[in-house]
Structure 1
Amino acid sequence: MSLSRLVQRLRHAALCAAVGLMAAVPAAHAQSDADAGAFPAKPLRFIVPYPPGGPLDLMARALGEKVRASLGQPVIIENRAGAGGNIGADVAAKAAPDGYTLVMGAVATHAINPWLYASLPYDPIKDFAPITLVAAVPNVLVMNKEFAQANGIASVADLIAYGKRHPGRLNYGSGGNGSAGHLAGELLKARAGLDALHVPYQGAAPAQLALLSGQSDFMFDNLAAAAPLIRDGKVQALAVTTLARSSLLADVPTIDESGVPGFDLGTWFGVFATGGTPEPVVQKLNQAYVQALRQPDIVDRLRVMGSQAQPLSAQDFARMVAAEKEKYREIVKLSGASIN
């Protein structure tokens, strides 16, 4: 099942449950408030497992300000980058299970890395208490513009046809083995029979430079990073990787509607606490972050990233993470990527 459809079903289920339990809400809230006690009584630590200045870091800081106002305690951002997000995630996994340590987890830390790394220092399910999904962001398939124009490639179908006519000619860049761009490329190759060589770079920025210079023919880029290049006419956008089009590039089709049915790979990120955090504390954090995600300025920030705020209940987010982890088992296996 695709991520977008899964989120829709989870929201529908949550709405039905809420309607059915309306009579029990006052008592449940009273008990929850009593169990949560005075939480939070001190500042919260919000770990971002990636470098400062990136989209997840900026979003964590913006949400932290909203949550500070809601809970009455500062939210201190701590960047712990390295090992594809594993270092920061592991810090949160091994913290005290009291709700005072949070992490901005992502599809990499909780769905891809368990299958990519031979030895992961944490369990992405058991060692975390999901709080809420923040957003899901599509990637976009972009081509070197000169190459695309010279060879009459204006769609995914054109790219696939070119690859079949010229076996061994195409190559695509990514931010590294096991990156989202690598996995998307291998999935397209498998689903469409596309012949293309993967060329890994040390990060998305070098891969983007290789595309612009013509060293690589195409890549799957982060939508927010690629959008300015697309608008300026520096690269050719062929399709987005999710089932729904992006409002940021409304005229760019999806890969699914371009002839590769069911293609759905997006980047998502959300808030997690340490596994074993008391349920009343989890619910209090969920309420604070969901409220923050509904603020107009947060909605606008996410829209600039090509996404929409997608808050979920803690229970629905947990189910989504488990489903995503299983989905990527076969995709990572298909790619052949591994990190020891």
Structure 2
Amino acid sequence: MIELDGIAKTFDGTILALQDVSFSVEAGSVCALLGHNGAGKTTTINILSTLMRPTYGKAVVAGFDVVQDPTSVRASIAMTGQVAAIDWQLTGRENLVMFGRLRGMRRKEANVRAEELIEQFDLSDAADRNVVTYSGGMRRRIDIAAALVVPPKVLFLDEPTTGLDPRSRRGVWDLVSSLSAEGVTVLLTTQYLEEADVLSDSIVVVDHGRVIATGTADDLKRRVGFSYCTVSPVNPADLPRILAALADLEDAQIDEEANKVSVLAPNGVATLSEVFRRVDQLDVELEDISLRKPSLDEVFLHLTDSVTA
């Protein structure tokens, strides 16, 4: 459904934003595009949505070339940016009807479609209130609903949950999953690695304008080739003592919010045994001690740090 082959983009003839970017996204799947700020994520989205022309290479969306047939691409896609692109002085219903009319629907058709989306996005109680009174999560839902007035084949979501509380973020995750189940192809950029881990069927990691890794979340975790040992005490006050006992082990760090100390475990069970031996000498009560696969956050940092190095 989405194919990029050797895409490059330069600005002013000297600034290289993208170089030789190639990847594909299957129809009806969710692909997470990950990278630090300035890595090239938004430039990639802008090219795929025809807002920007590539300097070199070829990109195809829903079977149409973004340069040769941009009109057909635009008719096949929808997009939401980091800021909700809706009129806050209108009601939710009025926004949806307006977007329907802008997309060529007759008034009756636009009203029917607006009602369908209001029910689908659980906005019935707020549909006739001005959007300015909506919470952040509700604004994001109405923004995504507006993008779906005419059902797209491909949906681009550029950091859709930035600034949302955990409950609202989960609500958006449910919406994205339901869209994928309906056959919509979703390309998602996000700063929340847990979001990519939960939602994505595939992941593309970009750094300095290049693709440095692709695969599923599990593929990338296996590729890193190491595990972590995690220690969680019953009493959070014991965290500093545990960290001190493990400080000379690789990548020892404390996470007070999660109530744990973790260390890199290059030797797997042998590292776990050494950690257990040291912690046992402290005579602290443990809630858990375990060997685990790296999180996607840790994989991302490892991949991007390797490129920088």
- Could you state the TM-score of these two structures normalised by the residue count of structure 2? 0.28
Compare relative contact order (CA 8 Å, sep 6+) and give the higher one, 1 or 2. 1
Q: More strand per residue: 1 or 2?
A: 2
- Could you state the TM-score of these two structures normalised by the residue count of structure 1? 0.26
Q: Which has the larger radius of gyration?
A: 2
